[in-house]
Structure 1
Amino acid sequence: MVPDPDRWPSSVDGNGFTEVANKVHSMGLKFGIHVMRGISTQAVNANTLILDTKTGEAFEEGRKKWTAQDIGIKERPCSWMPHGFMSVNTTARAGAAFLRSLYTQYADWGVDFVKHDCVFGGDLDIDEISVVSEVLKQLDHPIMYSLSPGTRASPAMAKDVSGLVNMYRITGDDWDSWENLGSHFDVSR
C-alpha cells in the first residue's frame, strides 16, 4: 500500500507517510491514520503477492507464493464499503503475514495511532482484531490501536475487544444531525 503521490507528494520514492509523520512529530504531536478492515478489493483483483516481512520476499508456504486472492474473503466485505475492502483469512499464515506487513509499514512510517474501521460493531471480526493486536505488540514503534464500530455497536460488545485494543467507540459515526448526536449521549446513560 502506498499513498497517492498526487495527493501526498512527499510519498514519492517509497517514502509513504514518513515525511508527513516527521513534520507532525516536529510540532510535538502524534500522527494517526484511519484504515479499513482486511485487504482492498483492488489488491485482490490485481492478485498482488503477500510480503513476508521476515525475508523481504513474497510469502511462501509449501512452495506456493501466496497472493491477495488466496487470503481475501469476498463473502465478508465491509458493510458500508462492500466494493472497497474485505476480511482477510487470518487462519492462513499468509493472512497473518499480510496484516503483519501492513502494520509494520505503518510503524516504519512513524504512525502513532490507527483508527481501524469496519471490524467492530455490525462488522465484528474478532480474528482480525486479535491478529492486529498481536502484531502491534511485536513492533518496535508503539501504535495506539482504536476501533471504529461503523454500525450496530453496543456497550456490551466492549467485553470482546477491551483486552485487545487501546480504545474503542461504542456508537456509530457522528454526522451533522443533532438527532444522531443526541442518541449517542443516551448510550452513556
Structure 2
Amino acid sequence: MGEIVRVYRERLPSLRFIGKRYTNAERANGFGHKWGEWFQNGWFGELEALGEAPGIENGYLGFMRCGEDFENTFEYWIGMFFPADTPVPEGYGHIDLDGGDIGVCWIKGREDDGSLFCMHDACVAELAENGMGNFRIEAGMSCFFERYNCPRFTQQDEQGNVILDYCVLLAERDTPAP
C-alpha cells in the first residue's frame, strides 16, 4: 500500500512540458501500456536530446489535467519539462506553464502492486492539511503530475519500495476553502 512520507512546497520557473497527449478513451487499466510504447519507440531519447531544464528536479513525467467534467476533459500526457522557449519536435505536443509553486508528496510503495498510482485524493488532502490546498487553474484545468525521479523511483529499497513524486500546481497564495 502506498504511504505519503514527505510533503513540501517547491518553486518552478516558467516551463514548457513536451510530450504526447492521451485521453480517457485510451486508458486501459491506466496508462502503463502507453509508457511501454514510449520506451519501445525511444521517445524519451528523442526528448532527452533537446537538453534539460536547469535548476529543477526533473525526470519522466505523467502530466495530468482536467476541468470540472472529468470524464470529457481528462488528459494524461507523458513527457518531460524543458525551458519555456524549447522548440517542439514534430509528433509531440506541449503545454506552457507559468512559473509558480507546486505541492509535492512523496509516495512510498511498491510499483508492482499499483498502490502508488491511486493516491490522488490522499495527496490532495495531505497538501491541504499542510497549507497547500489552493490549486492553480491553467486554461480552465487543474494540473497535477507524477514525477519519476531518478534515483527515488528507479532504485528500490530492501523491501522493494520506491518513491513516486506526486505534484500539484498551486495558486500563488493559499486561501482558506469556503
Query: Structure 2 length as normaliser, TM-score?
Result: 0.24
More strand, by proportion: 2
Q: Which has the larger radius of gyration?
A: 1
Query: Structure 1 length as normaliser, TM-score?
Result: 0.23
**Higher relative contact order, chain-length normalized (CA < 8 Å, sep 6+):** 2
